[in-house]
Structure 1
Amino acid sequence: MQRTGPMLVAIAVGLVASPACAQDADNWTIAPRGRIQYDVGDVDAPSSISADGLEVVDEFRAIRLGAQGRLAGAIDFLIEVDFSQNDFVLVDATLGHTTGPVTFTLGHQKNLTGLEELTSALNTSFVERAAFTDAFGFERRVGFAVSYAGADHLVSAGAFTDDFDALTNDENDGYSLDARAAWFPEIGERTRLHLGGAVHWRDIREPAALRYRQRPLLHATDIRFISTPTLPTEEELSYGIEAALVRGSFHATGEAHWFRPTLAGGADSPTYFGGYVEAGIFLTPGDTRGYRAGRFDRVRPSQPLGEGGIGAVQINARYDRLDLNGAGVVGGTQDLIGGSLVWTPQDRYRLMLNYARIDYADAAIPTASGDRDYGVDVVALRAQVSY
């Protein structure tokens, strides 16, 4: 797809999502959607490290315009374009159909890789997801998925090719298979348990030169203190477990994922690990973390700003581990301890303040003295609006 493709899609989305078109005609329903996320932060590394992306950085993390609705024949659609990076990128483009408990989805969509990845970035506790989600290459891809949903369980499976940009290369003919299951019963008043697991396998077909790496919490910086060397990769396998508990104003959640790239030429293949544990509580009475159908959902304040209250105020703490060492391949390790303060004045608006201390071992960037074991401090602030 050429870059003009997403541009035309954006124009079409703007027209379709306009108030004049947001109506029910011939069984069609159309509603606009979008988001703006602006991030500013500071990355404080040892003074002897000189690299772009340190100290104060900022960016529009997302500027998206889209539409969703239903076409004739009970076909649901979703399309969303992002133009935060001075370019048009097609994010979501799906058609779906639900019959009873079964939903079929075709198009550019998220893989079935776990609770944190499948939770919208609008609803996470920190400005970025756990480190392993990007390090292991979890992303949207073109494919077909089917889900069976019950009152307290969900089973999903899918087959995928690659993301839109990668599909512009005729030599890119890899594919992946994904599956996920989750059980989420209510176990008491305002109490929900979530247990699940996911597996992802990808055949790259032609060995690709890939690196597995991650930024220090803040996406606005391009620096990576943890990164493998370029690896000739033929296949990828990841599998993980997930758990969460929401009980009134309190929530706790965690995941563990193992990732194994198969290297070309018979080289020993490393197994990498990523995982996190998190807990949080609302300081405002009556508020709880949103949850729906196997993922965290939007927070809806019990007393929104302008309606007799101040909105929802939440504090969270997280430990996040990423280990990219294995089989003689040194990519480094990182251990993050962080806290976040989240203010949700109304369910469509959010302000987030994050602090994280990240300790690295075998870091990709040495200090002036050659030391690769050191710590980095990160502060991040996000302003967010969605509709």
Structure 2
Amino acid sequence: MENQKWRHMRLAGVCGLALMAGAVSAAAQSVEELQAQIDFLRAEIEKLKAERAPTTPLSPAPLAEREAATSTDDPHSVPEEKPLVVKAAGAPSFTGDGFKNFKIRGRIQSDFAQIGDPDKIGTLGADGFMPDRGLGAVAEIRRVRIGAQGEMGDWGYKFEVDFAGGETNVADAYLAYKGIDNLALIVGYQKTQASMEEQVSSLDVVFMERSRFTDAIDLRREMGVTADWSGENWHWKSGIFVDGAFDENDEVNGLIVSSRGHYTFGPKHAFTHMGASVEYRDSGAEQGRLRNRPLFHASDSRLLDTGSLDSTSSLYTGLELAGGYGAFYFETELATLGLSVRDGAGQSSTARFNGASLHLGYFLTGEQRAYKRSAGTWSRTRPDNPLGKGGFGALDVAFGADWVDLDASDESISGGQQLTFLAGLSWRPVDHIRFMANISHMEIYDSASHLHLKNDGTVEDDFGLNMFGLRAQVDW
């Protein structure tokens, strides 16, 4: 500021002196002398203008010259680091030098349910009928997960821990290599390849819980290696696993082999999915007991139960059919479990148990349920018009039927049968937040574990119960 003021004063002074000199001696001066003074004054003014003008950057050198100027053959030179890129997807994900899409992920699901009448459903004991207090009004934090995922070149990783129920359980812990076209190799703790609905995230299933048959036979994550071949409309994923990883019984108890494939027909707005899966478990890894909750996980009661079985191996087979046609979608599965069981005399036989499910849904707000064609699974559906941005969010209604038969086909085992009718309403006001309401009616036949107390004081093993459930969930 001081330099600029000084330049102004110099300019004013030069101009003043020139005018004064011109006024005193104009008559005596020759034209040549006057012109010399004018040229001097003009040079001083141009000089002061140059001092006041902002510095103009030099024109950039040609590309080749600039590259030559910045290049170096010094082996110890440090390459320029890539800038950190941050994206928002529920929670920030970070991409920088040496890593990509790193994200702290998590989910919280809170449930409330009303399950039947606990005064009318229970067991018989020495003191007579005993109501099951695991029914009635129940509530729980269904899932509380925290973890991380990311990529490093052709490698990806994911790790999640679930703290629900007062316990700490690993949900996913694996490393994936994706450097080969159309092939991914995955090593670690992951889902086995059985059932379409089991491959869908709990954040995106139609109802609050998955179909009852896969719950009854306890399809679960295992430690293993899988190979996933996929194309635009198809995939085939197979793996070999060991039973035993993160629980207190971490010894390897048996081997599991599973495989699932699918093909998708039609365009995005009107597609049909067809798929199948199979899973074999040898001795030590097979199911040793089949049982089932009354739909909602918040209850610890099991209305179907085979009791402990002396099993030696199992074979699961399942068929899948699904589709999306605009705002309408459906999915149905049919599955069978063949379980090799020894009787009291040590003789082995194969007991077969069956299950099936059908879900129909429609988005009242016009969205299409998101579907990943290269994996044959449903994925996250995002509202077309989120709440607070000129819309209401995504609202869909669904209806379903679910059948579980734990009575062995050869009548050697009686665990009961269960038929459930469901209706659900799901609202996603914005992406990553979802509210669900489910109502259902369940019919139990030949229950081996529970009885219904009739008004006349007698009991029966065939009975029905009504259920209602609410869920609030958020993920990031």
Q: Is TM-score (shorter-chain normalized) higher than 0.5?
A: yes
Partner of 2:452: 367
Partner of 1:222: 300
Distance, in Å, in 2 between the alignment partners of 1:23 and 1:188 is 33
Distance, in Å, in 1 between the alignment partners of 2:382 and 2:348 is 51
Q: Are 1:337 and 2:390 counterparts?
A: no
> Residue by residue, what CA displacement relative to the aligned partner does 1:153-189 show, whole Å, maximum 9, x if unpaired?
101110011253457343x42010001110013x246
Deviates more, 1:336-345 or 1:369-378: 369-378
Paired residue secondary structure (2:193)? coil
Q: Deviation of residue 366 (structure 1)? A: 1.5
Distance, in Å, in 1 between the alignment partners of 2:201 and 2:303 is 26
Listed as ranges, the matches of 1:347-366 within 5 Å are 347-363=431-447, 364-366=449-451
Partner of 1:16: none
Task: Summarize the Cα distance change of 1:209–1:137 in structure 2 as closer, same or farther, 3 Å threshold.
Answer: closer
Deviates more, 1:161-170 or 1:41-50: 161-170
Q: Are 1:198 and 2:277 counterparts?
A: yes
Partner of 1:318: 400
Listed as ranges, the matches of 1:56-135 within 5 Å are 56-71=137-152, 73-98=153-178, 99-135=180-216
Partner of 2:338: 260
* Identity across matched positions, percent: 31
> Residue by residue, what CA displacement relative to the aligned partner does 1:191-213 show, whole Å, maximum 9, x if unpaired?
1110000000001248x782101
Paired residue secondary structure (2:473)? strand
Distance, in Å, in 2 between the alignment partners of 1:249 and 1:224 is 36
Distance, in Å, in 1 between the alignment partners of 2:258 and 2:181 is 22
| Counterpart code for 1:196 | G
Partner of 2:104: 32
Q: Deviation of residue 355 (structure 1)? A: 0.6
Contact 1:46/1:376, CA 8 A, preserved across alignment: no
Contact 2:433/2:474, CA 8 A, preserved across alignment: yes
| Counterpart code for 1:35 | R
Which of 177, 181, 203 in structure 1 is aligned with 2:257?
177
| Counterpart code for 1:352 | M
| Counterpart code for 2:470 | L
Distance, in Å, in 2 between the alignment partners of 1:198 and 1:234 is 21
Task: Summarize the Cα distance change of 1:169–1:300 in structure 2 as closer, same or farther, 3 Å threshold.
Answer: closer
Q: Deviation of residue 48 (structure 1)? A: 2.8
Distance, in Å, in 1 between the alignment partners of 2:431 and 2:194 is 26
Contact 2:92/2:103, CA 8 A, preserved across alignment: no
Which of 348, 356, 379 in structure 1 is aligned with 2:468?
379
Q: Which has the larger radius of gyration?
A: 2
Deviates more, 1:367-376 or 1:35-44: 367-376
Q: Deviation of residue 86 (structure 1)? A: 1.8
Distance, in Å, in 2 between the alignment partners of 1:20 and 1:148 is 30
Contact 1:46/1:367, CA 8 A, preserved across alignment: no
Distance, in Å, in 1 between the alignment partners of 2:280 and 2:244 is 15
Q: TM-score, normalised by structure 1?
A: 0.90
Paired residue secondary structure (2:198)? helix
Task: Summarize the Cα distance change of 1:175–1:36 in structure 2 as closer, same or farther, 3 Å threshold.
Answer: same
Contact 1:191/1:246, CA 8 A, preserved across alignment: yes
Which of 127, 148, 152 in structure 1 is aligned with 2:229?
148
Contact 1:22/1:32, CA 8 A, preserved across alignment: no
Paired residue secondary structure (1:117)? helix
Ranked by relative contact order (alpha carbons within 8 Å, sequence separation 6 or more), the top structure is: 1
> Residue by residue, what CA displacement relative to the aligned partner does 1:313-360 show, whole Å, maximum 9, x if unpaired?
100000000000012210000000010000011120100000110000
Distance, in Å, in 1 between the alignment partners of 2:150 and 2:94 is 9
Paired residue secondary structure (1:231)? coil
Listed as ranges, the matches of 1:237-316 within 5 Å are 237-264=315-342, 265-285=346-366, 287-292=367-372, 293-316=375-398
Q: TM-score, normalised by structure 2?
A: 0.74
Distance, in Å, in 1 between the alignment partners of 2:268 and 2:247 is 47
> Residue by residue, what CA displacement relative to the aligned partner does 1:64-104 show, whole Å, maximum 9, x if unpaired?
10111013x42100000111122221110010011210010
Distance, in Å, in 1 between the alignment partners of 2:93 and 2:270 is 41
Distance, in Å, in 2 between the alignment partners of 1:235 and 1:259 is 10
Task: Summarize the Cα distance change of 1:28–1:251 in structure 2 as closer, same or farther, 3 Å threshold.
Answer: closer
Q: Deviation of residue 52 (structure 1)? A: 2.5
Contact 1:131/1:214, CA 8 A, preserved across alignment: yes
Task: Summarize the Cα distance change of 1:209–1:232 in structure 2 as closer, same or farther, 3 Å threshold.
Answer: farther
How many residue pairs are counted as aligned between the two chains? Answer: 364
Gaps of 5+ in 2: 1-90, 122-130
Q: Are 1:48 and 2:120 counterparts?
A: yes
Partner of 1:12: none
Distance, in Å, in 2 between the alignment partners of 1:205 and 1:216 is 28
More strand per residue: 1
Contact 1:244/1:253, CA 8 A, preserved across alignment: yes
Distance, in Å, in 2 between the alignment partners of 1:330 and 1:256 is 21
